[in-house]
Amino acid sequence: MVGNIAPLAFGLAVIGSAIGVGLVVGKTIESVARQPELQSRLQTLMWIGVALTEALCFIAIGVAFIPFPA
Protein backbone atom coordinates (compact mmCIF):
# COMPACT_ATOMS: atom_id res chain seq x y z
CA MET A 1 0.00 0.00 0.00
CA VAL A 2 1.26 3.37 -0.86
CA GLY A 3 0.62 6.81 0.52
CA ASN A 4 -2.15 7.52 2.98
CA ILE A 5 -3.78 4.08 2.88
CA ALA A 6 -1.03 2.29 4.85
CA PRO A 7 -1.92 3.81 8.27
CA LEU A 8 -5.51 2.71 7.72
CA ALA A 9 -4.33 -0.86 7.14
CA PHE A 10 -2.20 -0.73 10.30
CA GLY A 11 -5.14 0.52 12.33
CA LEU A 12 -7.52 -2.12 11.02
CA ALA A 13 -4.97 -4.87 11.66
CA VAL A 14 -4.48 -3.73 15.25
CA ILE A 15 -8.22 -3.35 15.91
CA GLY A 16 -8.93 -6.82 14.53
CA SER A 17 -6.15 -8.32 16.59
CA ALA A 18 -7.37 -6.59 19.75
CA ILE A 19 -10.89 -7.91 19.24
CA GLY A 20 -9.54 -11.42 18.66
CA VAL A 21 -7.37 -11.36 21.77
CA GLY A 22 -10.28 -10.04 23.82
CA LEU A 23 -12.50 -12.88 22.66
CA VAL A 24 -9.85 -15.53 23.35
CA VAL A 25 -9.11 -14.24 26.86
CA GLY A 26 -12.78 -13.71 27.68
CA LYS A 27 -13.75 -17.23 26.65
CA THR A 28 -10.83 -18.63 28.65
CA ILE A 29 -11.99 -16.81 31.78
CA GLU A 30 -15.51 -18.09 31.19
CA SER A 31 -14.22 -21.66 30.76
CA VAL A 32 -12.10 -21.50 33.92
CA ALA A 33 -15.13 -20.24 35.85
CA ARG A 34 -17.07 -23.30 34.67
CA GLN A 35 -14.28 -25.87 35.19
CA PRO A 36 -11.53 -24.60 37.53
CA GLU A 37 -9.67 -27.92 37.45
CA LEU A 38 -8.72 -27.31 33.79
CA GLN A 39 -7.15 -23.91 34.42
CA SER A 40 -3.57 -24.80 33.50
CA ARG A 41 -4.58 -26.55 30.29
CA LEU A 42 -6.94 -23.75 29.26
CA GLN A 43 -4.34 -21.11 30.07
CA THR A 44 -1.80 -22.85 27.84
CA LEU A 45 -4.29 -22.96 24.99
CA MET A 46 -5.15 -19.30 25.61
CA TRP A 47 -1.52 -18.21 25.23
CA ILE A 48 -1.22 -20.17 22.00
CA GLY A 49 -4.38 -18.49 20.70
CA VAL A 50 -3.13 -15.04 21.72
CA ALA A 51 0.21 -15.65 20.00
CA LEU A 52 -1.45 -16.76 16.76
CA THR A 53 -3.83 -13.81 16.81
CA GLU A 54 -0.99 -11.35 17.32
CA ALA A 55 1.02 -13.07 14.57
CA LEU A 56 -1.79 -12.30 12.13
CA CYS A 57 -1.54 -8.65 13.10
CA PHE A 58 2.21 -8.61 12.42
CA ILE A 59 1.70 -10.36 9.08
CA ALA A 60 -0.88 -7.75 8.06
CA ILE A 61 1.51 -4.93 8.96
CA GLY A 62 4.33 -6.65 7.06
CA VAL A 63 2.18 -7.06 3.96
CA ALA A 64 1.52 -3.33 3.97
CA PHE A 65 5.26 -2.75 3.42
CA ILE A 66 5.51 -4.96 0.31
CA PRO A 67 5.99 -2.73 -2.72
CA PHE A 68 3.60 -3.47 -5.55
CA PRO A 69 4.58 -2.67 -9.13
CA ALA A 70 2.72 0.26 -10.60
So what's the pLDDT on residue 11?
A: 81
CB 3 within 8 A of CB 28: no
Higher pLDDT among residues 3 and 58, named by residue: 58
Is it the case that residue 70 has pLDDT exceeding 70? Answer: no
pLDDT digits (tens, 9 = 90+) for 42-66: 999 999 999 998 898 888 778 777 7
So what's the pLDDT on residue 69?
A: 65
pLDDT digits (tens, 9 = 90+) for 12-32: 888 988 998 999 999 999 999
CB 24 within 8 A of CB 53: yes
